[in-house]
Amino acid sequence: MERADVAIIGGGLIGCAAAWRLAQRGARVVLLEAGEHNAGASGQNAGSLHFQLERRFLEQGEALAEQAARIATLNVLAVADWRAIECELGADLHVSMAGGLMVAETREEVALLEAKAAREAAAGLAVRLIDGDAARALAPYLAKSVIAACHLTDEGHADPRALTPALAAAARAAGAAIREGCRVEAIKTPAPGRFVLRTAAGGVTAAQLLIAAGAWSASVAAMANIHLPMVPVALQMNATERIAPAIPHLIQHVGRRLSLKQAHAGNVLIGGGWPARMAVRSDGGFDLARRPALSETSLAGNLRAAIDVVPMLARLNLIRTWTGTTAITADQLPIVGPVPRLPGLWVAGGGSAFTLGLTFARLIANAMGGERVRELDLFGPARFDHLNSFMGAA
C-alpha cells in the first residue's frame, strides 16, 4: 500500500495540473490514471480558449444566464494563467491568444450579445461590441451575414495534445508519482481524513483525495458513497485540410452552435457543441468505455454553420471527424472544491475545462494546502449537499 499526502484520480488536464501544483507546494502526490494520461476529453477537445460567456449559458433564459455569468470571474483568472503557462512549463503548447469574435446574424442575436457584454463588463472582462463592418475590418474572412460581434482580445486556442503531457512531465519533475494503467476500483474511508484506494495492482492510502475523473467523476464519487451531479455528454469535432495562415481569431456564434479556429499546423478545427451519441450498456446507463458514435446530422449542421459564417471554408476538404466525452453539471457551472460530507475529499471538473482547467487546478491546490480561496466559494460541491443528505461515510 503506497502512502501519499494527496491521491488524485484521473490523469487529464485537471489531475495532472493539480498534481504539479500540489507537488510544487511540497505534498507527496500519487495520481492514478486508468489508461494513459490525456486519453480523455483533455486530449480530444477543440483547444478553444473562450473567455466570453458561452452560448450555452445564454440560451436557457435570463435567470440561468444571470447565474451562469458567475463563471466570468474565473475566466478573468484563466486569461492570466494561459498567458503565463508556456513560460512556467518551459514548453511550446502552441498557445495563440490573438483575440476572439462571437458573431451575430440576426437582431435577436445582437440583443443577446448586448446583454452578454453587460454581464461580462460587470465581471471585469473587456469585451467590445462592434458592428458587422468593424468585425470584417478585423476578420475579412467573415460573411456579410454577420451584423455584429463581441470582440475580446485575449481569446484564442492552444494544443490539447501538448498541454497535459507537459503538465504530467512537470508534475513528475516536481516529485509527483503518476501511475498509468491504474484504474481505481474501490474507495474506502476507514476514518475521517483517511482514504484507501484499491487498484488491481495494489492501492494507495492518503489523507486527501481529489476526484478529477472528467466524465467518470460521478461514478468515481459513487465509490465514496457520494452523489455528484456531473453528467457525461458526447461531442463531435471536425478538422479540414491544412491551409496557409488565414484565420488568426477564435470565432464563435452567439445564436448557433459554432466555434472555429485555425490550429498551428494549418488545419481549421470546427466544432461548437454539436452532439455525438453515447453508447448504452445492456443493463442500462451510458457506456463510457465505448467511444460515442458520430452523428451525421451534427456533422451537416456544424459544417453549414461554419460555411455560413466563414464562406471560404466551403472550398476546403474535411479530413477528420471525431467524438469525445466530457462532463457538464446540473447547473452548468463547474464543481470545484471540498465535499462537505467527507473531510479531505475534493472534486474538480465540469464545463469548459480546457479553458479553465489550469485555473481550477491552481485554486484547488491552494485550497487543499490550507489557504482560504474565495474565488471557489460559488463553485464548490456544497451547493449540491442536499443530494448527499443520506450519503457519505456510513
Ligand X SMILES: Cc1cc2nc3c(=O)[nH]c(=O)nc-3n(C[C@H](O)[C@H](O)[C@H](O)COP(=O)(O)OP(=O)(O)OC[C@H]3O[C@@H](n4cnc5c(N)ncnc54)[C@H](O)[C@@H]3O)c2cc1C
Among residues 216, 274, 286, 384, the one that binds ligand X under rule CB under 6 A:
216
Minimum distance of ligand X from residue 388's CB (angstroms): 20
Q: Which three cell numbers stand for residue 252?
A: 464563435
Closest Cα partner for 114 from 129, 104, 98, 99? Answer: 129
Assess 337 for contact with ligand X (CB under 6 A).
no
Among residues 6, 7, 9, 333, the one that binds ligand X under rule CB under 6 A:
9
Residues 19 and 8: their CA atoms lie apart, in Å, by 7
CA angle 374, 376, 378 (to 5 degrees): 100
Minimum distance of ligand X from residue 138's CB (angstroms): 21
**Which amino acid, one-letter code, is at 139?**
A
Among residues 45, 75, 189, 252, the one that binds ligand X under rule CB under 6 A:
45
Assess 232 for contact with ligand X (CB under 6 A).
no
CB nearer ligand X, residue 302 or residue 326: 326
Residues 82 and 62: their CA atoms lie apart, in Å, by 30
Assess 81 for contact with ligand X (CB under 6 A).
no
Stretch that binds ligand X, among 13-21, 100-108, 120-128, 186-194 (CB under 6 A): 13-21
Assess 156 for contact with ligand X (CB under 6 A).
no
Residues 308 and 306: their CA atoms lie apart, in Å, by 6
Q: Which three cell numbers stand for residue 384?
A: 449540491
Minimum distance of ligand X from residue 107's CB (angstroms): 28
Restricted to residues 103-142, the positions that interact with ligand X (CB under 6 A) are none
Q: Which three cell numbers stand for residue 298?
A: 451534427
Among residues 53, 220, 303, 310, the one that binds ligand X under rule CB under 6 A:
220
CB nearer ligand X, residue 102 or residue 184: 184
For residue 5, how many other CB atoms are within 10 A of its CB?
17
Assess 214 for contact with ligand X (CB under 6 A).
yes
Strand 148-152: give its sheet, edge to edge. 128-131, 148-152, 100-104, 250-253, 259-262, 267-271, 230-242, 318-329
Would you tell me which residues interact with ligand X (CB under 6 A)? 9-15, 32-35, 39-42, 44-48, 183-184, 212-216, 220, 235, 237, 271, 324-326, 349, 352-355, 357
